[in-house]
């Protein structure tokens, strides 16, 4: 085996110009694949971090059945939001903070105009502990400290010409269907996390509880955890602690938009990887075939002195594998250098066609396991794509090969 490898390395270096061109193609192909894969990994992680730290929290607790009926904002499926219950949740292993929220729908009256909107009642201090990046969704100059503060989505506020300081009256029906009102003052505007949040607002939890006659209650509890990768484990402990009356979901179960975006990014990465790998491996196959055609007499001589056909085929496969290994290693080094630089620097990315949406912070990354797998695929693929040239070399007849035919 070592002799075969040594001879293969020597043969690869015989035609240095052709080998250099083939290796350059491999380096470029593998390098671009690593960069694209690293960017997609960073993008997927950025989407997760953005939704978890700016909106959902790592885990959410609801009354049983709430999530299935969330579009109708069922106020009757509420959960306790008193200190005793919040303390019970926060003492579960792995939980770092808990924030109660109250989601509801209603209308807002400003002068002679009325418009429908969906709002989320938040406790500013507790929310900051669970979702520290939520403040990034507010445009500069926006505040959310006072009990009567109202934040509206940028598209919603601009549609009716609202500006900070505008007074409004919020109208909403409580659990018994009675209509209640609360005075509010617009204190800023919000950027959306993604498309579909055009009619969204935020108010203080205290105001929402008064408006809906739900003091000490909430519709959901957002929970932050020590290690995001262990969120499912923490969710399991919360289910065991709270019992069947409550349902516990991880961030990906309550944010299908983020999950779908990650799946699309994964599909894109797979497509790009496949295209570049196939193109560069076709180059390896072409080089192997040209090598066979040029070394016909050499192959005939080897057969004439008793070299087995299987050894000849193995030699050409080994030469392709050596080129694949050298090219993949070089491409991996170049790609990782670019990924490491971009990972330290970071990128700000806004989804195509999206306006009024906060940008996603992307830090490209390439785990060692994925990098090793990519190099292995390139090496094995180079050998597989050279099967036909190797087979053709092993099928030559000694007499014809010695004659150069």
Q: Is the pLDDT of residue 315 over 60?
A: yes
Residues 6+ apart with CB under 8 A from 236: none
Which pLDDT value is given to residue 84? 93
Q: State the pTM of this model.
A: 0.75
What is the end-to-end Cα distance of the chain in Å, rounded?
Answer: 30
Closest CA to 231 of 124, 54, 96: 96
pLDDT band at residue 198 using 50, 70 and 90 as cut-offs: very low
Q: Which of these ranges, 131-145, 160-174, 184-198, has the smallest mean pLDDT?
A: 184-198
Residue 404: band (very low, low, confident or very high) from pLDDT cuts 50, 70, 90: low
Nearest-angstrom CA–CA distance, 169 and 49: 35
Mean pLDDT of 166-187: 88
Beta bridge partners of residue 62, listed in sequence order: 247
* Secondary structure of the chain in HEC code, one letter for each residue: CHHHHHHHHHHHCCCHHHHHHHHHHHHHHHHHHHHHHHHHHHHHHHHHHHHHHHHHCCEEEEECCCHHHHHHCCCCCCEECCHHHHHHHHCCCCEEEEEEEEEEEEEEEECCEEEEEEEEEECHHHHHHHCCCHHHHECCCCCCCCCCEEEEEHHHHHHCCCCCCCEEEEEEECCCCCEEEEEEEEEEEECECCCCCCCEEEEEHHHHHHHHCCCCEECEEEEEECCHHHHHHHHHHHHHHHCCCEEEEEHHHHCHHHHHHHHHHHHHHHHHHHHHHHHHHHHHHHHHHHHHHHCHHHHHHHHHCCCCHHHHHHHHHHHHHHHHHHHHHHHHHHHHHHHHHHHHHCEEECCCCCCCECCEEECCCCCHHHHHHHHHHHHHHHHHHCHHHHHHHHCCCHHHHHCCC
If you average pLDDT over every residue of the chain, what do you get?
Answer: 83
Q: What pLDDT score was predicted for residue 405?
A: 56
Give the pLDDT mean for 228-251.
Answer: 93
Q: Which pLDDT does position 3 carry in this prediction?
A: 67
Q: How would residue 400 be classed by pLDDT, with cut points 50, 70 and 90?
A: low
Work out whether strand 149-153 and strand 179-190 pair parallel, antiparallel, or are unpaired.
parallel
The two tokens of residue 137 are: 């969704």
The confidence score (pLDDT) of residue 196 equals 46
Q: Is the pLDDT of residue 321 over 80?
A: yes
pLDDT over 70 (residue 403): no
Other CB atoms within a 10 A radius of the CB of residue 368 amount to: 8
For residues 224 and 90, give the distance between their C-alpha atoms in angstroms, rounded to a whole number: 9
pLDDT of residue 174: 87
Distance CA 365, CA 269 (A): 13
Contact 75, 88 (CB under 8 A): no
pLDDT surpasses 50 at 48: yes
pLDDT band of residue 353 (cuts 50, 70, 90) is very low
| CB-CB contact of 66 with 74 (8 Å) | yes
């Amino acid at each position: 085996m070592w002799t075969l490898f040594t001879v293969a390395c020597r043969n690869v270096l015989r035609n240095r110009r052709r080998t250099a061109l083939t290796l350059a193609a491999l380096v470029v192909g593998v390098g671009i694949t690593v960069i694209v894969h690293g960017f997609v990994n960073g993008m997927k992680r950025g989407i997760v971090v953005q939704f978890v730290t700016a909106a959902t929290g790592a885990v959410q607790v609801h009354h049983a059945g709430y999530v299935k009926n969330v579009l109708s904002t069922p106020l009757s499926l509420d959960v306790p939001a008193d200190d005793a219950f919040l303390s019970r949740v926060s003492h579960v292993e792995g939980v770092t903070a808990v924030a109660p929220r109250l989601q509801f729908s209603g209308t807002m009256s400003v002068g002679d105009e009325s418009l429908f909107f969906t709002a989320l009642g938040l406790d500013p201090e507790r929310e900051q502990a669970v979702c520290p990046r939520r403040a990034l969704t507010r445009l500069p100059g926006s505040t959310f400290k006072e009990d009567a503060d109202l934040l509206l989505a940028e598209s919603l506020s601009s549609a009716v010409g609202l500006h900070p300081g505008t007074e409004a009256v919020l109208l909403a029906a409580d659990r018994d269907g009675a209509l209640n009102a609360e005075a509010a003052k617009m204190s800023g505007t919000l950027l959306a996390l993604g498309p579909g949040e055009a009619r969204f607002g935020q108010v203080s939890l205290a105001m929402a509880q008064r408006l809906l006659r739900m003091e000490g209650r909430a519709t959901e509890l957002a929970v932050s955890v020590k290690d995001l990768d262990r969120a499912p484990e923490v969710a399991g402990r919360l289910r065991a602690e709270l019992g069947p009356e409550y349902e516990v979901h991880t961030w990906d179960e309550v944010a299908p938009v983020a999950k779908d975006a990650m799946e699309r990014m994964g599909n894109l990465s797979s497509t790009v990887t496949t295209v570049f790998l196939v193109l560069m491996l076709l180059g390896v196959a072409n080089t192997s075939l040209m090598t066979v055609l040029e070394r016909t007499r050499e192959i005939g001589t080897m057969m004439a002195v008793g070299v087995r056909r299987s050894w000849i085929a193995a030699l050409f496969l080994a030469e392709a594998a050596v080129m694949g290994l050298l090219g993949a290693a070089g491409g991996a080094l170049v790609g990782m250098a670019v990924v490491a630089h971009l990972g330290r620097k970071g990128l700000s990315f806004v989804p195509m066609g999206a306006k009024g949406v906060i940008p996603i912070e992307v830090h490209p990354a390439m785990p060692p396991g994925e990098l090793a797998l990519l190099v292995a695929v390139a090496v094995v693929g180079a050998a597989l794509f050279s099967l036909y040239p190797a087979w053709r070399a092993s099928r030559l007849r000694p007499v014809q090969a010695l004659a150069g035919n």
